[in-house]
Amino acid sequence: MAVPLVDLKAHSQQLKQELANAVLSALESTQFINGPAVAAFEGQLAEYTESEHAVGCASGTDALYLALRSLGIGPGSEVITTPFTFVATAEAIARCGATPVFADIDSQTYNIDPENVRTAITSRTRAILPVHLFGQAADMDPLMALARLHGLSVIEDGAQSLGGKYKGRPLGGIGDAGCLSFFPSKTIGGAGDGGAVIVKDAQAAQMVRTIRDHGAVKKYYSETHGLNSRLDTVQAAYLRVKLRHLDAFIQQRNQVARWYDAALQGLPIVRPTVTEGCLHAFGYYTVQVQNRERVQQVLNQHGIGNAVYYPYSLHCQPVFGDLGYKPGDFPVSEHAQEHVLSLPMYPELTQDQVREIADALKKAV
Domains of the chain: 8-102+111-244 (3.40.640.10), 246-364 (3.90.1150.10)
Using one digit for the tens of pLDDT, what is the confidence trace for 121-176? Answer: 999 999 999 999 999 999 999 999 999 999 999 999 999 999 999 999 999 999 99
- Confidence at residue 89, expressed as pLDDT on a 0 to 100 scale: 98
Residue 1 has pLDDT above 90, yes or no: no
Q: Which residues contact 166 (CB under 8 A, 6 or more apart)?
A: 137, 138, 140, 174, 277, 278
Q: In what order do the strands lie in the sheet with 195-199?
A: 53-57, 195-199, 177-181, 153-157, 125-129, 78-81, 99-102
What is the average pLDDT value for the chain, to the nearest integer?
97
Cα dihedral 102→104→110→113 (10° resolution): -100
% of the chain exceeding 90 in pLDDT: 98
- Confidence at residue 79, expressed as pLDDT on a 0 to 100 scale: 98
Which value, in Å, is the radius of gyration of the alpha carbons in the chain?
Answer: 20
Residue 306 to residue 293: CA distance in whole angstroms: 11
Count of helix runs (H) and strand runs (E) in the chain: 13, 14
DSSP state letter for 187? S
Residue 188 to residue 185: CA distance in whole angstroms: 7
Residue 195 to residue 183: CA distance in whole angstroms: 8
pTM above 0.95, yes or no: yes
Residue 101 to residue 82: CA distance in whole angstroms: 8
Diameter of the chain by CA atoms?
A: 64
Using one digit for the tens of pLDDT, what is the confidence trace for 48-95? Answer: 999 999 999 999 999 999 999 999 999 999 999 999 999 999 999 999
Look at residue 137 and give its three-state secondary structure: coil
Average pLDDT estimate for 327-340? 98
CA atoms within 13 A on the CB side of 51: 29
